[in-house]
């Protein structure tokens, strides 16, 4: 019995121990299972968070893509228009480009660009900050690559290199508007009689050509087979934005690039020798960058007190408002911004043979002579006669009152839209109402005869030139 009890005791003790051990084991298993579940839950939660984060990033990327696509779509709806210039300082062409861009940048239907051959130079005309500037020399690229990179739709070409014109004409991806400025007399005087006909020949193959000279647009281009549209230049000053000169002071002005022999500032300087003899208080202001040759000429004639070189002026208004006479002696011009500026200020002008420019009439005296004595004689007459001077001044200002930048800018924008949509150049005449009276064949022949006589005086080797040869550019 005792053995039984002992056995039973051991059995029970061992059994209880085993049971307790089993409980401990189960408890440990339960803890293990619990911890494992926690780990799994953490892993699942982590995976879920990662998936949600990835999903969020994906949604953000989709939103960005959507915004960019909307932006690109809105940009793709705009017409990309670029002006192509050698530079953007000093000259009339450059000033015109700057003025237009300062109006165009506000337009919602266009993106405007300025492409220049040169880099950024001192004394440039200001352009809006949102106009993209591409300097070919600085960026070591060329016009054709720039056109492709910026996806230009319309290019306004202000560069007159015949080879460049021909190359640009071969581009099928864009529409090129070629601004001729002045093909005719400018080229004759620039190269004298050794002239190449390639310039106007190149324009013959251009689809879109703009002219600035009525004689060319209305008559000569028709003879040469060039279909063109005359487009006025914008104004530096709006008609109502300036107070006209009272013409009371005996101040004479000449404006332009004094270092350009074709502007012929020397004629004006020499004429002052006679003018100061009659009107000692008269002063001539050469509104130009300093030019050593002109300065030497002034000193050689002892005219330092009467002739001043002002230096380059972005806004010449300070001199215009005190001027009483403008002398314009250029060999050739197209649409002279200088003449527009002095006319808005109501200043009379003496023009040396420039009867073909669109602003020639109204407040001007045209002489067909390069003699400084003739210039001096006309200048003295105008400065001495107050009534005559004021009459010419009123005529000058009156001739500008119907011109405004608002009208000119609208014409340009209409031209861009029409060309972008496939304008046929033959319908140029229906594009918008012309603001000038077209010249007749008879008027054209009178102007050409005047210019023929001047050419023979100025270039002796052209003494046998006939009117028919001149019309057909047969100069050699």
Over residues 313-326, the pLDDT tens digits come to 878 999 999 999 99
* 414 within a domain of the structure (yes/no): no
* pTM for the whole structure: 0.78
d(CA 9, CA 2): 10
Lowest mean pLDDT across 222-226, 292-296, 434-438: 434-438
Lowest mean pLDDT across 197-206, 230-239, 281-290: 197-206
Q: Are 180 and 152 in contact (CB under 8 A)?
A: no
Cross-strand pairs, 215: none
Q: Is the pLDDT of residue 22 over 70?
A: no
* 295 within a domain of the structure (yes/no): yes
Report pLDDT for 453.
Answer: 92
* 178 within a domain of the structure (yes/no): no
Q: Is the pLDDT of residue 476 over 80?
A: no
Q: Residue range 451-468: average pLDDT?
A: 87
* 32 within a domain of the structure (yes/no): yes
Choosing from 51, 77, 103, the residue where a domain stops is 77
* 33 within a domain of the structure (yes/no): yes
* 391 within a domain of the structure (yes/no): yes
Mean per-residue pLDDT over the chain, rounded? 85
Choosing from 374, 398, 422, the residue where a domain stops is 398
Choosing from 77, 102, 123, the residue where a domain stops is 77
Q: What is the domain count for the chain?
A: 2
The phi and psi torsions of 439 (rounded to 5 degrees) equal -85, 145
* 145 within a domain of the structure (yes/no): no
Among the ranges 117-126, 178-187, 255-264, 392-401, which has the highest mean pLDDT value?
392-401
* 446 within a domain of the structure (yes/no): no
What confidence category does residue 475 fall into, taking pLDDT thresholds of 50, 70 and 90? low
d(CA 336, CA 71): 41
Give the CATH number, domain containing residue 394: 3.40.50.2000
Over residues 167-184, the pLDDT tens digits come to 998 888 899 999 988 777
CA-closest candidate to residue 331, choices 384, 402, 256, 385: 256
Dihedral (CA of 140, 174, 208, 408) sign = negative
Q: At what angle do helices 441-458 and 184-191 cross, to 10 degrees?
A: 10
Q: Which residue has the tokens 């050419």?
A: 455
What confidence category does residue 464 fall into, taking pLDDT thresholds of 50, 70 and 90? confident
Q: Structural domain of residue 297, as residue ranges?
A: 241-398
């Amino acid at each position: 019995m005792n053995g039984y009890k002992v056995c039973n005791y051991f059995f029970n003790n061992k059994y209880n121990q085993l049971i307790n051990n089993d409980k401990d084991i189960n408890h440990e298993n339960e803890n293990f299972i619990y911890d494992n579940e926690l780990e799994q839950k953490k892993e699942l939660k982590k995976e879920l968070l990662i998936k949600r984060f990835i999903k969020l990033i994906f949604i953000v990327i989709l939103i960005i893509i959507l915004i960019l696509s909307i932006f690109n779509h809105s940009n793709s709806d705009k017409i990309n228009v670029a002006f192509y210039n050698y530079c953007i300082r000093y000259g009339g062409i450059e000033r015109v480009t700057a003025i237009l861009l300062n109006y165009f940048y506000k337009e919602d239907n266009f993106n405007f660009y300025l492409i220049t051959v040169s880099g950024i130079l001192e004394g440039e005309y200001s352009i809006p900050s949102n106009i993209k500037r591409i300097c070919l020399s600085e960026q070591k690229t060329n016009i054709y690559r720039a056109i492709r990179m910026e996806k230009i739709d319309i290019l306004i070409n202000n560069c007159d290199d015949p080879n460049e014109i021909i190359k640009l004409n071969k581009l099928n991806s864009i529409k090129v508007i070629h601004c001729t400025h002045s093909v005719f007399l400018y080229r004759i005087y620039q190269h004298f009689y050794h002239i190449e006909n390639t310039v106007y020949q190149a324009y013959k193959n251009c689809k879109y050509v703009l002219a600035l000279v009525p004689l060319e647009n209305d008559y000569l281009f028709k003879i040469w087979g060039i279909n063109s549209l005359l487009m006025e230049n914008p104004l530096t000053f709006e008609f109502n934005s300036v107070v006209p000169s009272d013409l009371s002071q005996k101040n004479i002005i000449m404006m332009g690039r004094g270092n350009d022999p074709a502007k012929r500032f020397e004629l004006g300087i020499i004429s002052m020798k006679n003018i100061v003899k009659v009107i000692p208080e008269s002063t001539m202001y050469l509104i130009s960058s300093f030019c050593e040759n002109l300065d030497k000429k002034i000193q050689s004639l002892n005219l330092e007190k009467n002739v001043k070189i002002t230096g380059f002026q972005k806004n010449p208004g300070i001199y215009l408002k005190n001027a009483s006479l403008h002398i314009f002696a250029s060999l050739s011009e197209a649409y002279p911004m200088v003449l527009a500026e002095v006319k808005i200020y109501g200043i009379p002008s003496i023009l040396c043979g420039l009867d073909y420019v669109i602003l020639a009439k109204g407040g001007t005296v045209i002489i067909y002579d390069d003699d400084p004595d003739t210039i001096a004689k006309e200048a003295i007459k105008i400065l001495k006669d107050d009534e005559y001077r004021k009459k010419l001044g009123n005529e000058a200002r009156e001739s500008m009152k119907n011109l405004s930048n608002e009208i000119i800018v609208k014409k340009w924008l209409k031209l861009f839209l029409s060309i972008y949509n496939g304008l046929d150049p033959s319908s140029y005449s229906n594009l918008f109402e012309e603001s000038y009276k077209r010249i007749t064949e008879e008027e054209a022949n009178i102007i050409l005869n005047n210019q023929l006589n001047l050419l023979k005086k100025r270039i002796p080797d052209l003494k046998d030139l006939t009117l028919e040869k001149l019309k057909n550019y047969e100069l050699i």
